[in-house]
Amino acid sequence: MRTGLLHFSLMGTVAVVTVVATRFMGLMMVMAFLVIPGSVGLMFGRSFAGVYWVSWAFASFSMVSGLIVIENWLPSVPPGSLTTAIAFVLFLLAVLIRSLCSNQVIKKSRSR
């Protein structure tokens, strides 16, 4: 299989989607949703498929929870900024959970 063609097709798709999405949703939200879900996926995924599904679930959960908060409690807040803020807070929570899990593993291995 030609991986070069697949690679350039994927990069071209990401470029086109980024340009179009930036026009509709704003630069901050597009850049945040390109970086944050992938970072969380890399923290918790053990394989390529795991990284993909964790990233997808995180992005979906962030987006839906942001829209629910906007719809029910904060209708005057711009959706892009609030959804990005929720994704960032969830990212910080994921970093905290990952560090706590790492510390417990280190403590268990030292006690043996």
pLDDT of residue 112: 58
Q: Give mean pLDDT, residues 55-67.
A: 91
pLDDT band at 76 (very low <50, low <70, confident <90, very high): confident
Interval 29-57: pLDDT, tens: 888 888 999 999 999 988 888 888 999 99
Q: What is the DSSP string of 35-80?
A: HHHHHHHHHH-SSHHHHHHHHHHHHHHHHHHHHHHHHHT-TTS-HH
**Domain ranges for the chain:** 26-111
